[in-house]
Amino acid sequence: MSGAAPWPEAARAGAGAPPLAVSVPAEATDMAASIARAMAPLDPALVLLFGTPGCGMPELGIELRRRLGADCRVVGCSSAGEIGPRGYCAATVTAVGLPSASFRIGICVLRDQALVPASEWMAVLRRFHADFRPDLRRSVFGVLLPDAHARQEDVLTATLDAAIPGLPVVGGSSAEGILFAPSCQMVDGMIHSGAALFLLVETDLAVSEVLFSHFSPTDRRAVVTAADPHNRIILELNAEPAAQEYARLAGLRPDALTPTEFARHPLLLRTGKRHHVRAIRAVTPEGGLQLMSGTEPGHILTLGRAMDMTRGFAEMMDALPRPPLMVLGFDCILRRLALERAGMIPQMSELLARYRVAGFNTYGEQHSGMHVNQTFVGMALMPPEPG
């Protein structure tokens, strides 16, 4: 088993068990036993599983509940890569345990994501939040795990923000592997195809949302002059075939457009005072650009410039009020591909381990009512403020 122990400093948390993460190879024959053995001392309220559906996610969820007790909820989804105690990992199931002594969990399944039943979602979410009855003396946040294949995260996040205003929410869109294979969403051993999983997490720990994007805007801009919003495809930029015009702006040959180059040269959309990445997933056979987020005719997009991917991350984490016991993190797969191309996976893994990040690589990230790309988002879990 890889990374079976908590981070070395985790024992300083004070009273009660701190959150815990373990990573187990996907081919391990004793996966449930290994995860349960590590999690049992926590008496967990929740175990989150991120990994490959081929590992038998439903069976794993059922077996973990049998071993850890019916009061332990088990939620899982597929991933494009995992983040465990040693940083980036692959071909694993990474498990995150939240101890019942410090956490209370609610789970809501938002069905039929591709059909966008926004009114139904709104009613379900409001009722779910009211029934949960958050304790105002404790921290409360949300975790959203949508199916990336449904391509409706923009509407989903806006609906959630309207239904429960003011709630900090982080999350990541789920699909299997870098080939964007179908997603697997699981709750307590039951698969929910095409759904988005939403969790309410209440804790006596201090929490702080973290957000890091390593791009700044350049002076090269383009107008979306034709698009297929439903399928997230830009057909034309500046009244030219989209892929051809993007290649010109990025200084690339049209036949050199690969996921790695898309990761190095993203398109940015300005919303308010902040630029958000509208990541490119592929070139369509017709020469359009398939995005990971929504697009519409009239959007003005700016070509992004990459900055240092490690220094800015460390600065963000060092600015937290206290060192985290864990950061539940959602990191875009395109960031990981860019790090691989730059030969910086070891440096970034060292930082992820140092700041106790656990989570998975995504096809889109959610925070503050927004769906974004090529961004790291997370929720830092810290010891309560003294007194």
- Please write the tens of the pLDDT for every residue from 73-96: 999 999 999 999 999 999 999 999
Please give the Cα distance from 254 to 246 (Å, whole number): 8
| pLDDT for 374 | 87
Q: How do 196-203 and 139-145 pair as beta strands?
A: antiparallel
| Short-list 187, 204, 128, 137, CA closest to 159 | 128
Could you give the angle at the alpha carbon of 263 between the alpha carbons of 258 and 265, nearest 5°?
A: 95
pTM of the model: 0.88
Contacts of 83 (CB under 8 A, 6+ apart): 89, 94, 329, 331, 352, 357, 358, 359, 360, 361
| pLDDT for 385 | 84
At residue 29, what are phi and psi to the nearest 5 degrees?
Answer: -80, -20
| pLDDT for 387 | 64
How many C-beta neighbours within 10 Å does residue 256 have? 10
| pLDDT for 306 | 78
Determine the residue type at 70. Answer: A
| pLDDT for 196 | 96
Please give the Cα distance from 93 to 49 (Å, whole number): 6
| pLDDT for 54 | 66
What residues pair up with 360 in beta bridges, in sequence order?
A: 82, 330
B/e letters for 265-303, b = 16+ CB within 10 Å, e = fewer, are bbbbbeeeeebbbbbbbbbbeebbbbbbbbbeeebebbb
Please give the Cα distance from 85 to 7 (Å, whole number): 6
| pLDDT for 277 | 85
Q: Which residues of the chain have pLDDT under 70?
A: 1-16, 54-55, 387
